[in-house]
Amino acid sequence: MIPFADHIAELTSHRDRELLDLALASSLMDMVRPRMVSIHRCVGEAEDRRWLNRGHLRRGDTVPKSDLPWSDLENLPRLEPSEPRFVALTEQRLVMVGAAPGRAYFPLVGGSDAVGVIEIETDAALDETAQRTIEGVLRIFHNFDRLLDYSERDTLTGLLNRKTFDESFLKATSDLMPDTDAEKAGRRCCGGDPCGYWIGVIDIDHFKSVNDRFGHLIGDEVLLLLSRLMARSFRLHDRLYRFGGEEFLVLMRCPAEDDAAQAMERFRVLTEQFEFPQVGRVTVSSGFTAGRPGDTPSGAFERADQAVYHAKQNGRNRVCSHADLVAQGLLTDTTKVGDFEFF
C-alpha cells in the first residue's frame, strides 16, 4: 500500500480536473481496498440534472474508466430522488446502504454546494477507520479544488479565465495531430463523425455605453447574466472563458464548420432575445475559427478575433466565420507558429 502522504502528493500534483478525479478514485481504491470506487459528478441545469461518471474502478482494475468528457447530456442518467446518491448529494451527508456487500455514498463538495458523489462498495459495511480515511481525503481534495477554482476562474462570472485557455487549447489541439487509427477512433464525436476543435470569440456590442449610461454595477450584472446564457446555450463539454472586459471565448468540439456556426448563432439569438434588467436588449458580435494541427493559442485567437472585428465593422449582432471571410477575399489567412507568421 502506498503511504497516505504519497497519495496526497499525487492528488495535489494535478491541475487537470479529469486527471484529478481519476487520481482520487485510484487513491481511495489503494487506501481503503473496497470492491469498487465510482465518482459521479452532477452536471446540467437545475431542471435537467444528470450524472457524469468521472472515475470508476473495480478491484483488480489497473486503469479507471469514465464517461467521455464530450458525452451528450441527454445520454447521461438523470438524477432520481429515490437513489441513495441523490440523498447524499442534496442533503450533503454520508448515506450507507447494506452490509454484505455494503455501499457508502459520500457527498463531493465544491464551494459551499455538493457537486457530486463518491460511491464506495465494500465486502462488508464500511468501518469507522475507513470512513474517517475517506472523509479526510475528501477534505483535502475539497480544499485543493477550491484553490484550483481561485486560480482558474473569473471571480465575477465563474467562467474559466484567460490564463487557463492556453493549456486547454494545447491539450485539445494535440488530438488534431496525425496518430494511430485506434487513437483517432477515440476522437470521434458521439455520432461517429471525426471531430475538430473550434474557437469562438464573443464581444458585447456597445458595452461601453452600458457602463456609461447605467454604471459599472449594472455592467457587471450584464456580464454575469451573459455568462449564464453561455452556460445555457453551449453544451456540457464546451469550455467557456471570460477573457476580460466584455470579451468571452468558447472552445468547442464539433464535427464540421456548420455545427460550430449553428452553436454560435444559437447563442447570438438567445442573447438578442433576452431582456436584461434595466438595460433591456443587448447584442453580441462573434467570430470563430477551426483549430489546426500545430496551432498556437494566440494564432487561433487572432483568427477568431479578426472575424469578430469584421462582424463589428459590418453591422454588429452577427456571427462571422474566419474561413468564410478568407474564402471571400475579405481577410488574409495567416498561420502563426511561435512568434512567426506565415501568409
pLDDT for position 176: 60
Distance CA 312, CA 228 (A): 23
How would residue 4 be classed by pLDDT, with cut points 50, 70 and 90?
Answer: confident
pLDDT for position 135: 93
Same domain, residue pair 178 and 327: yes
Same domain, residue pair 242 and 186: yes
Distance CA 216, CA 208 (A): 10
Number of domains present in the structure of the chain: 2
In the predicted model, what is the mean pLDDT of residues 81-100? 92
Distance CA 264, CA 307 (A): 13
pLDDT for position 50: 92
Q: Count the residues in the chain.
A: 343
Q: Are 228 and 328 contacting, i.e. CB atoms less than 8 angstroms apart?
A: no
- Written as one letter, the residue type at 18 is E
- Span 186-207, pLDDT tens digits: 445 544 455 789 999 999 999 9
pLDDT for position 296: 92
- Residue 94 sits in which domain range? 4-152
pLDDT for position 72: 82
Same domain, residue pair 177 and 295: yes
pLDDT for position 194: 59
Residue-averaged pLDDT of the chain? 88
**pLDDT at residue 25 above 80?**
yes
Same domain, residue pair 71 and 131: yes
Same domain, residue pair 60 and 82: yes
Among 225, 236, 250, residue whose Cα is nearest residue 308: 250
Distance CA 113, CA 54 (A): 18
pLDDT for position 304: 97
DSSP output for 25-90: HHHHHHHH--SEEEEEEEES-TTS-EEEEEEEEETT-SS-B---TT--GGGSPBP-TTSHHHHHHH
The pTM for the full model equals 0.81
Same domain, residue pair 232 and 115: no
Same domain, residue pair 122 and 167: no
**pLDDT at residue 84 above 50?**
yes
**pLDDT at residue 51 above 70?**
yes
pLDDT for position 173: 78
Q: Which residues does residue 341 pair with via DSSP β-bridges, in sequence order?
A: 336
User: Which CATH number belongs to the domain containing residue 109 in this structure?
Assistant: 3.30.450.40
Same domain, residue pair 199 and 284: yes
In the predicted model, what is the mean pLDDT of residues 329-335? 84
Same domain, residue pair 172 and 290: yes
Distance CA 111, CA 92 (A): 12
Could you tell me what percent of the chain has a pLDDT over 70? 90
Rg (CA), the chain: 22
Distance CA 187, CA 282 (A): 37
How would residue 183 be classed by pLDDT, with cut points 50, 70 and 90?
Answer: very low
pLDDT for position 160: 93
Q: Which residue has the higher pLDDT, 100 or 226?
A: 226
pLDDT for position 335: 59
Same domain, residue pair 272 and 302: yes
DSSP 213: H
Among 298, 208, 227, 309, residue whose Cα is nearest residue 267: 227
User: Which CATH number belongs to the domain containing residue 218 in this structure?
Assistant: 3.30.70.270
In the predicted model, what is the mean pLDDT of residues 213-222? 97
Catalytic (active-site) positions: 246
Give the up-direction half-sphere exposure of residue 269: CA atoms within 13 A in the CB hemisphere. 8
pLDDT for position 112: 59
Same domain, residue pair 116 and 146: yes
**pLDDT at residue 99 above 90?**
no
In the predicted model, what is the mean pLDDT of residues 44-64? 89
Q: Which residue has the higher pLDDT, 245 or 111?
A: 245
pLDDT for position 193: 53
pLDDT for position 180: 40
**pLDDT at residue 292 above 60?**
yes
Same domain, residue pair 44 and 186: no
How would residue 111 be classed by pLDDT, with cut points 50, 70 and 90?
Answer: low
Q: Collect all residues with Cβ–Cβ distance below 8 Å to 5 and sequence separation of at least 6.
A: none
